[in-house]
Amino acid sequence: MFAEARAIVIGPGPENLARTGDKLQAKLLAQRCQVPVLEAMNQPTANVDEARAFAHRVGFPVMIKAVDGGGGRGIRLVHEDSELDSSVQRAIGESPSRSVFVEKAAVDGFHHVEIQVIGDGMGQVRHLWERDCSVQRRFQKVVECAPALMRDRDLVSKVIDSALKMATEIRYRSLGTFEFLWIGFGADATSSSTGSNVRGSWPGHGGQFENASPNSFSIQLRICAEDPSNNFSLSIGKVTEFVVPSGNGIRLDTNVNTSNGSASVVGSNFDNLLAKVILTASSWEAVVRKAQRVLLDSRISGVKTNIDLLRGIVSHPDFVVGHVDTRWLGLKLDEIYHLGQRIANAQPGGETVRSISQQSSSQAGLPASNHLFRKGDAWSITLEPLTKDTSQEAAKVTHHLRFSRVFRNDFPTSLAAEIEYTTPTSQTAIPYRMQLETTSTAASALVSSTHRRGDPQNPRHIVLPLSGRLIEILVSDGENVVENQVLAFVKQMKMELEVRSPRAGRVEWVHEMEDEEEDVAEGMLLVELNEPQEKQMRGKL
């Protein structure tokens, strides 16, 4: 097919992908090359009982992994049996092939290290050194460092050799990454952003590693549109200001551009990564100081971001000396985030900048509409001509309108509903689809969902705790729900997240989806609860 189209495929090709694109096949390849691997199931499954049997054999904690997942998707860490069913189902939902496997979890003191390898497809392979991606949350990288800061360069060499063995075995073609977990003393790692061969010395350690000849160190920071203060919920909206200092040793990779007055929109369908900031300096201490300065002078408005978290990471004493592993950020998350907030507020105008950013974020989210429209609401509309034309009969005309479904409510800015419409000449209601949109520019500035906003202080309201794409609602009007029952699923960047009820009650009102899937913003009213029906009946007796 490609030959007929005269197309040239740039990449590893189907032979390489067949052996490395599937996680289980990649583990088998590692075993054939005598690379140590964690114990795992030999075959993929969609059966919870099979997953449970393996988990009980190797012992908790275990990792549920989609065979074809990536970027943190399709991965669940399970600590006990009660978490297994839900974790398997959610991982399956994020897997294109809908198949997973179970692996013994590596959680204590491990470092995530990646080796960059390039191959010509003929068996010749070379490495471009290693990088450390241990500063991560939910199996997604937040900060990367290069080169490795480990004392034991012999261990680094063994990991590099393992990557080259596997690449040679499959006659790897293209530029790719071989990822490892390892145990060692305070890691970081690999090739710097300049692409030069870099080796490092331990921070604060006067001596050099054997075979070490460092000439630069790099840190990559990932700026994402998310709210660390609200469980890292996706922040949907328009990026109205994006300022990152430039200079020697600072590289910015982004498609966000607000210099010409335009704004980039963050939606729910794609990754929330706004930019990668790559910093390079001649020593580890220097690159850390550069990262601290650049983050302090950066300004982003319109959406909430993780920039305060990044400020806390690069200023934390553990990071400064390289003592981090894959659990470090998760275990010290609050401490690190609050450190970043204190740093931001300590600079001149820090509170002012923060308030402007938060104000812009709230404006980009749900409008605060207090008008409640429900199914069954009805009106009589009387139209009376203002002109007194004697040649025509100017009579009052009464129309009747009743809502049968309400999809979107931000009246008076916008309103979408199905209505039953009766005219004076017809006694039978005619169904219509009604769409109301204002023609002012204020409405066009809204980039996220325009549904009814919930009141977090109202005990009857269940408010959507995160932005994303609403893919399924599991309850309906009149249904009784129990505390912690799953009400809906919201997808963020291909990851399915549960929305649970914080209390028991009877569904008095539930949001009606306009389409099979729709964008929704944090703060939207999802369900309105009353007391459970049995409680109401007992109260009447």
Residue 7's alpha-carbon distances to 18, 256, 376, in angstroms, are: 21, 31, 58
424 versus 489: which is more confidently predicted? Answer: 489
> What pLDDT is recorded for position 356?
44
* Average pLDDT of the residues of the chain: 81
Do 234 and 274 touch, CB atoms closer than 8 A? no
**CATH code given to domain 13-104:** 3.30.1490.20
Residue 307: what pLDDT?
97
Pick the residue with more confidence: 260 or 375?
A: 375
pLDDT in tens, 316-341: 999 999 999 999 999 999 999 999 99
pLDDT in tens, 442-498: 333 333 445 778 888 898 999 988 888 898 999 999 999 999 899 999 887 667 788
pLDDT band at 10 (very low <50, low <70, confident <90, very high): confident
pLDDT tens across 132-159, in order? 999 999 888 999 999 877 767 788 889 9
Is the pLDDT assigned to residue 393 strictly greater than 60?
no
Q: For 261-272, how does the pLDDT look when each residue is reduced to its tens digit (9 = 90+)?
A: 666 888 777 788
206-262: per-residue pLDDT in tens? 333 334 444 789 999 999 999 999 888 888 888 989 999 998 999 999 989 877 666
Domain assignments of the chain as residue spans, ordered by start: 13-104, 120-364, 378-444, 461-540
Domain 120-364: CATH class, spelled out:
alpha beta
The CATH topology of domain 461-540 is OB fold (Dihydrolipoamide Acetyltransferase, E2P) (2.40.50)
Q: Which two tokens stand for residue 444?
A: 């066009």
**Percent of the chain predicted with pLDDT > 70:** 78
Work out the average pLDDT over 64-73. Answer: 82
Would you say 434 and 418 are in contact if contact means Cβ atoms under 8 Å apart?
Answer: yes
Which segments of 151-298 are extended strands (E)?
Answer: 173-183, 217-224, 226-227, 233-234, 237-239, 241-243, 250-254, 264-266, 273-281
3-state secondary structure 86-116: HHHHHHHHCCCCCCEEEEECCCCCEEEEEEE
Average confidence (pLDDT) over 367-387 = 68
